[in-house]
Structures are given as C-alpha cells and as structure tokens.
Amino acid sequence: MTYNKFAFALGAALAAASVAVAPLAAAQEVTLLNVSYDVARELYKDVNPAFAAAYKKSTGVAVTIKQSHGGSSKQARAVADGLEASVVTMNQANDIDMLADRGLVVQDWAKKFPHNAAPAYSTMVYLVRKGNPKAIKDWGDLAKPGVQVIIPNPKTAGNGRYTYLAAWGSVLKKGGNEAGARELVGKIFKNVPILDAGGRAATTTFTQRQIGDVLVTFENEVGMVRAEFGDNFEVVYPSTSILAESPVAVVDKVVDKKNIRKEATAYLNFLYSDAGQEIIAKHYLRPRSEAVFKKYAANFKPITLFTVDEVFGGWRAAQKKHFDDGGEFDKIYSSK
C-alpha cells in the first residue's frame, strides 16, 4: 500500500471511529428544563445538584437541570405556547390538566407517580407584621375595613387561586352557603391594593415594599420569609385551610422528541426518595414520607384541611366556575 493510500485508509478509519464514539459521548450529557411555579426557586436550587450527583453516581450520566419560574398558570401557558419543558413542577393540577388537553402531557399523568403525582403539599396561611397589629386570626378578619391584604392574581398564580378557594371553602365548611362565600371573598379582594402576577412578587410587595397588613401565601413561603427576615413577621394559621398539592409531570411530547424520558422520569422520582423528601421538608413543604414528616414535625403546625375535590368538585369544575373569563372571580373583581 502506498503512503497516500495508507493515510487515506487511516483517516477513513479514524473518521468512522469518531462517528461511532460521538453519539456515545453525547449520550453521557443530558440537559433538562424544569418549568416551575414562582416560589419553588430555592427548593429546586437544592434539589437539582443533589439529583445530578446521585444520578451521575448510579449511571455515569451527567445531567444539567435548568430552571424557569413564574406564576404557575403563566408558566403552564408558556409551555403550551412552545417553551420546551422536560418536566413541569406546578402548584396545582389544573395547570397540568391544561397541558394534557393540549397533547403535551398524557391524560393520566396523575397516575404516573405516587400520591396523585404530588411529592409534596402545603396550605395557605397568613404572614403578618410583628405583633399582629390588626389582630388577624381567620378568614373573616381579612374582610374587615381598613385591612390591606396582599394576594397574587388568581388568574395567573396558583398561590392566588388557592387563597381564593381557601376563603370560599372556609364559609362552606362552617355550614355557610354560596352567597355567603361570595360575599366574604368579594370583601377580601376589595381589600387587595395590588394584584401581583406571582407569589414571589406578592412576597416582595409585602416584605420589601412594606405594603399591606397581611400576606396570604403558601406555608413554605412564610417559612422562607421568616428564615430570611427573622422576627419582623409572624405566622398565623387560620382555623381551616385548603390542601395545596404540588403536582409534577413529564412533558411527554418534549422528552420523546429529545430522547430524555429516562432522565426526566428519574428526576421526578428523586423527589420521592429519602434525599428528595428531606430537601422538600427543609424548604417547609410538607413531605409525603411519614418518617421525614415526623422528623420535621415542628415546622408543620396541625391544621384542618379540605381539598379542591371535596368542596369544589375538582380542579376542572373550580376553574370553569371561578377562574375562566367571565367567572366568579371576574365578577367579584370587576365590582371592586
């Protein structure tokens, strides 16, 4: 074989080898996009490196997780409009149902992971200024004249939607009727000076802009605020509140297109692991693991909770009646 022929043959062999090796190398690095709700930023900043380290150790595959946060419903619409989320980690089932209706997520997504695909849950509580100068104790106090209430927009934020439903349901659970619930919620929203788009913006309005007498938000958010700001605020638990689940789902259309289903599924399963449940509890979300819940029980005051299914007939019915355009919320807020 002449030198030129040998060089050509060697070059061809090396090129073939590089083609064979390149896909293997690429397969060892995967990027996921977690599209999530507003007040879950800090949670996933801790979850992501813990999962990546565990997954690399067990499989040899390096996974990078990118985060996107905003109002839950706003985030869901972004995914529906083309944001290529690998997974969605929301604060209400309604937003994932919408993605299922668009064909991005399977219809039975809630059966793909334990506990209706919700590895954590929370509830709505009050954050008041030190000393609780307005003596706020329960939902009726939020409707009193002269009380400014900070709640994010129920049209864009799951935080605001849960607050609305918690106040409405509190009347029904005490034996009241729909008219009484509508009256209470109407008075509460008349006391809302600003409708922020998301829960974190509402927290900023209350804590940093010093607007309002009470912030209604997730229990895990008030835990974060108190950890950051110390004794400037106090937490008040109402007599009853709503079970606020944090559901998760693989975005099937995206993961199949990118061939990353295995990694995306493992990422969500990690949330149910002992390590994942520990991180969840440390961020003041209520874990599903009984052992972990018991370990962090001091963070979670006992409270009577009701569900969206129990009081409102499920998220689809609640959405249609209360939050669709022209629904109860629009009627209440337009008369403010």
Indicate whether 183 and 321 sit together in one domain.
yes
Q: Is residue 4 part of a domain?
A: no
Instruction: Express each pLDDT in 161-220 by its tens digit.
Output: 999 999 999 999 999 999 999 999 999 999 999 999 988 899 999 999 999 999 999 999
Beta carbons of 216 and 126 less than 8 angstroms apart: yes
Domain co-membership, 134 together with 182: yes
What average pLDDT score do residues 277-299 get?
96
Number of residues written out for the chain: 336
Same domain, 295 and 209: no
Q: Same domain for 133 and 277?
A: no
| Amino acid 72: pLDDT | 85
Q: What is the pTM of this model?
A: 0.85
**Has residue 238 been placed in a domain?**
yes
Q: Which of 25-29, 73-77, 138-142, 245-249 has the lowest mean pLDDT?
A: 25-29
Three-state secondary structure call for residue 319: helix
Q: Please tell me the distance from the alpha carbon of residue 33 to that of residue 31, in angstroms, as a whole number.
A: 7
Q: How far is CA 173 from CA 107, 126, 165, 241, 242, in A?
A: 31, 19, 12, 10, 11
pLDDT of residue 232: 87
The answer as to whether 11 is a domain residue is no
Query: Is 202 inside any structural domain?
Result: yes
Phi, psi for residue 27 in degrees, rounded to 5: -70, -15
The pairing of strands 304-306 and 240-242 is: parallel
62 and 96 inside one domain: yes
Q: Note whether 197 and 322 are same-domain residues.
A: yes
Same-domain pairing of 45 and 111: yes
**Is residue 145 domain-resident?**
yes
- Strand pairing category for 286-287 and 120-122: antiparallel
- pLDDT higher than 50, residue 25: no
Predicted pLDDT of residue 227? 77
Q: Does 324 reside within a domain? A: yes
Between 35-39, 78-82, 149-153, the lowest mean confidence (pLDDT) is in 35-39
The arithmetic mean of pLDDT across residues 41-65, rounded, is 97
Q: Determine, yes or no, domain membership for 19.
A: no
Tally: H helices and E strands in the chain: 16, 13
Query: How many domains, in total, are found in the chain?
Result: 2
- The pLDDT, as a whole number, for residue 324 is 94
Quick one: 45 and 90 in the same domain? yes
pLDDT tens for 207-243 read 999 999 999 999 998 888 877 777 789 999 999 999 9
Alpha helices in the chain (DSSP H): 3-27, 41-59, 72-80, 93-101, 114-117, 158-173, 178-190, 199-207, 219-229, 252-258, 261-270, 274-282, 290-295, 308-312, 315-318, 328-334
Domain span at residue 263? Answer: 29-118+247-299
Mean pLDDT of the chain: 91
Residues 137 and 114 in one domain: no
- Residue 18 in any domain: the answer is no
Residue 195 belongs to domain with CATH number: 3.40.190.10
pLDDT reported for residue 160: 94
pLDDT category, 41, cuts 50, 70, 90?
very high
Based on the domain organization, do 173 and 265 belong to the same domain? Answer: no
Q: What percent of the chain stands above pLDDT 70?
A: 92
Same domain, 200 and 136: yes
Burial of 210 (0-12, 13-18, 19+ CB in 10 A): exposed
167 shares its domain with 290: no
